[in-house]
Structure 1
Amino acid sequence: MDTIKTAKKKVPDALSLPPKLLNMYGDFVTKNQSSVTQIESALRSLTYIIPGRFRDAELASESLHSSIQLLSIYHDNLLTRAISKLPPIPRQQTMHSRYTKFWTQKSKYYRRVATLLSMIQYTELLWEMMAKRRGEKVRWRVVLILEIIKALCRLCLLRITNSRPLVTPHLPERDAIPEDPQEEDMYDEEFKVKEPTDYEMKRTGLSLPPLPNPRDISSYLLSKVLTADDIKAPNALLNKVNGSAQLAEWLHILQPLIYAVTMSRSRNKKDWQPWVLGLSVEFAARQLRKEGYRTTALEKEEWNRRGWSILYWVMRGPMYTEVTRKAFTGFSSRMPSLISGIMDDYLYLWDNYYFSTSSN
């Protein structure tokens, strides 16, 4: 009987252990944010340059890379919760952070859909690698399913934000937790960080702020000027789309799915039809977009990013197999063995996997 009672007492203790461990881990992440961020960045960079990453251990290396990306999402959630418990402190934020943070705080559906979309983007190549081991039909079936889910998620975000253009990334950037002022003072004292001090006038006792660097006066003055976007409400940083602009956004969302469908039916890497169709949809979306005097800075930033993403098309279809790959092969042959080995591994990746050159 005593043994049974002892066992019953241990069961609740065992069940309470995982939450305690998670709380301990969360406290560690919030108290060591800069170190955790550096470790994430180092591990992420390491997975890009591991020799022989794709040929011999593609699943293991891609699993590590995807795990790091998913772990960073979890860390972002931990840090967001920690910051929400602190008193509001005015801090400089990018327009993208202001906009995405507004929607993640206002709509739990936006936060969930954006998180799901990010998780798929971080793991899509891993899913394709696992599916390919069961054959090409299974592989393309998985690719189409993932593209359908991504398109549905983007259409949901478009609906949640009341027909405002999508931004990338869909979640806000990681905020830094303010450090303890006492710790900052100790750090400054230890390393003797000297900052310009105010000048105190002898007669009046008033103080004047320090003068800026004469070589950087323009930047100093511009930093003190408020722009129209600085005083806008976060949801006003993007205008609602309608008419041809709304059609352009739909085409931008559906373009990856259209390209994947045509690629799955063609299966011929030298067939130009899927490549031409996908690129045509991309250009049609850009042509239908209206850019007027009401275009905001965040909209220009997003459309510039989409413009640069068109370069991914040189890594797809017959453009890659007939032109780009030959150029990379010739360049790789002139490089040292270590660099050429890494480039050959990436050629193997680009040759065999659809999501390796996906920009969405």
Structure 2
Amino acid sequence: MSNSTSLPHALTTPPTKWLSAYSTFITTHQSSVTQIESALRSLTYIIPGRFRDAELASESLHSSIQLLSMYHDTLLTRSLSKLPGAPKQQSFHNRYTKFWIQKSKFYRRVATILAIVQYTELLWEMTAKRKGTKTRWRVVVLLEAIKAFCRLFLLKITNSRPLVTPALPERELIPEDEKEDEEDEEAFLEAEIEGRPHPQILEKEYKMKRTGLSLPSLPKSSDISSYLLSKVLTADDIKSPSTLLNKLHGSAHLAEILHILQPVIYAIAMSRSKSSKNWQPWLLGLSVEYAARQLRKDGLRTTALEREQWNKRGWAMGWWAMRGAFYENVTKGFLHRTSERLPGLISGVLDDYLYLWDNYYFSTSSN
């Protein structure tokens, strides 16, 4: 009996220890981890022949890095939640998303599924395309439908508040480890005894290890005005996280639903179109998006986070120049002619992306 109970314990204990050690490593070396992630992500962008020769392998690597980065964000967010006090200069976006993650487990799960689909959608399309055009478009429509359902659930969970992009909190810096705090404190005390300012204290806020009190960073003489303005609290800074976005009513609520359904409508129209140069799917998709923007009118109660999100959506509309008939009839020829005039290395990288834009729907998706 003892052998039967000890065997599962022996099998499950090592992975738990490994995960715990890995989590500790990530939280104590976040700067190095972030730099490695950025380097690997950049490498997948600039590898010559990335898309032509080994598109599945390179996109699998890129998606894996994105998913691993999302897992690291979860570990760092969990570590931050265990620390006393709120993080410095926390963005409105992170305040809002963290509130809903803590309040609703369903929000966290749906937002995680949405992020996973977004990180892997191009890889799924590449895999499906090898089985034929019909299979490819079925997968594209299915993925857009899954994302739309996730967004509709998020809209319901947040009591009809506008969606934020991304739906999960973004990465934040965590305080440095105790060893660095000890070195800073010793340097500060030494500088104080000698009657000179410690340069590191001028650059960042310093937290005393024993008392836990924070010494604010000191500005340069030329930056006093901006320093004082940065310390002024706005109305949004003291708001409850749930009120950082207003509830949608009437035409604004309809506009949000149209915004959510627009990618599905466009994908279905593209799947039924016989030619990629046909203007009807492109005009339909753009019209739905434009109608959504027109139905939603800015009011006097518009919050800073709401303006930030709608500015993102405005910039994202620029991707319509890289989609469907507009790309095939206008942008594509211009980019190919430009590529012929560029130096060899730059032209090679651009050609790889032209191959991607020419052949895959999700390569220019902004949702």
TM-score, structure 1 normalization: 0.90
Tell me if structure 1 keeps the 8 A contact 2:122–2:362. yes
Instruction: Tell me which residue corresponds to 1:200.
Output: none
Instruction: Tell me which residue corresponds to 2:243.
Output: 236
Tell me if structure 1 keeps the 8 A contact 2:145–2:264. yes
TM-fit CA distance, 1:23: 1.5
1:262-320 Cα offsets, whole Å, 9 max, x none, are 00000411100000000001110010002111111111111111001110000011111
Instruction: Tell me which residue corresponds to 1:352.
Output: 359
Q: 2:43 aligned with 1:46, yes or no?
A: yes
2:169 aligned to which of 141, 158, 172? 172
1:185-226 Cα offsets, whole Å, 9 max, x none, are 526859x744459xxxxxxxxxxx997434323312211211
Q: 2:15 aligned with 1:18, yes or no?
A: yes
Q: 1:224 to 1:303 in 2, by over 3 A?
A: same
Instruction: Tell me which residue corresponds to 1:146.
Output: 143
| Structure 2 SS opposite 1:342 | helix
Tell me if structure 1 keeps the 8 A contact 2:98–2:169. yes
Matched ranges for 1:286-301 at <5 A: 286-301=293-308
Matched ranges for 1:25-44 at <5 A: 25-44=22-41
1:132-173 Cα offsets, whole Å, 9 max, x none, are 010011111111110110000000000000000001011011
Tell me if structure 1 keeps the 8 A contact 2:125–2:140. yes
Query: Separation in 2 of the partners of 1:31 and 1:48?
Result: 28
Identity percentage of aligned residues: 67
Letter in 2 for 1:151: A
1:274 aligned to which of 276, 281, 285? 281
Letter in 1 for 2:364: T
TM-fit CA distance, 1:90: 4.9
Q: 2:75 aligned with 1:68, yes or no?
A: no
1:102 aligned to which of 94, 99, 102? 99
Instruction: Tell me which residue corresponds to 1:263.
Output: 270
Q: 1:279 to 1:210 in 2, by over 3 A?
A: closer
Letter in 1 for 2:145: I
TM-fit CA distance, 1:104: 0.8
TM-fit CA distance, 1:27: 1.4
Query: Separation in 1 of the partners of 2:139 and 2:260?
Result: 18
| Structure 1 SS opposite 2:236 | coil
Deviates more, 1:11-20 or 1:28-37: 11-20
Instruction: Tell me which residue corresponds to 2:310.
Output: 303
Query: Separation in 1 of the partners of 2:342 and 2:126?
Result: 29
Tell me if structure 1 keeps the 8 A contact 2:201–2:217. no
Query: Separation in 2 of the partners of 1:85 and 1:77?
Result: 13
1:306-355 Cα offsets, whole Å, 9 max, x none, are 00111000001111111111111121111111111111111110111100
Q: 1:246 to 1:210 in 2, by over 3 A?
A: closer
Instruction: Tell me which residue corresponds to 1:285.
Output: 292
Instruction: Tell me which residue corresponds to 1:205.
Output: none
Letter in 2 for 1:117: L
| Structure 2 SS opposite 1:146 | helix
Query: Separation in 2 of the partners of 1:233 and 1:130?
Result: 45
Query: Separation in 1 of the partners of 2:217 and 2:324?
Result: 58
1:62-89 Cα offsets, whole Å, 9 max, x none, are 0000000001111111122222222224
Instruction: Tell me which residue corresponds to 1:128.
Output: 125
Query: Separation in 2 of the partners of 1:257 and 1:184?
Result: 51
Instruction: Tell me which residue corresponds to 1:338.
Output: 345
Query: Separation in 2 of the partners of 1:243 and 1:283?
Result: 17
Query: Separation in 2 of the partners of 1:187 and 1:174?
Result: 25
Query: Separation in 1 of the partners of 2:242 and 2:70?
Result: 23
Tell me if structure 1 keeps the 8 A contact 2:80–2:87. no
TM-fit CA distance, 1:12: 3.8
Letter in 2 for 1:258: I
Unaligned runs of 5+ in 1: 198-208
Q: 1:293 to 1:352 in 2, by over 3 A?
A: same
Instruction: Tell me which residue corresponds to 2:191.
Output: none
Unaligned runs of 5+ in 2: 189-197, 204-215
Instruction: Tell me which residue corresponds to 2:209.
Output: none
Q: 1:117 to 1:322 in 2, by over 3 A?
A: same
Letter in 1 for 2:44: T
Deviates more, 1:55-64 or 1:178-187: 178-187
| Structure 1 SS opposite 2:252 | helix
Q: 2:77 aligned with 1:77, yes or no?
A: no
Query: Separation in 2 of the partners of 1:109 and 1:9?
Result: 35
Tell me if structure 1 keeps the 8 A contact 2:357–2:364. yes
Alignment RMSD: 2.3
Q: How many residues align?
A: 345
Letter in 1 for 2:302: T
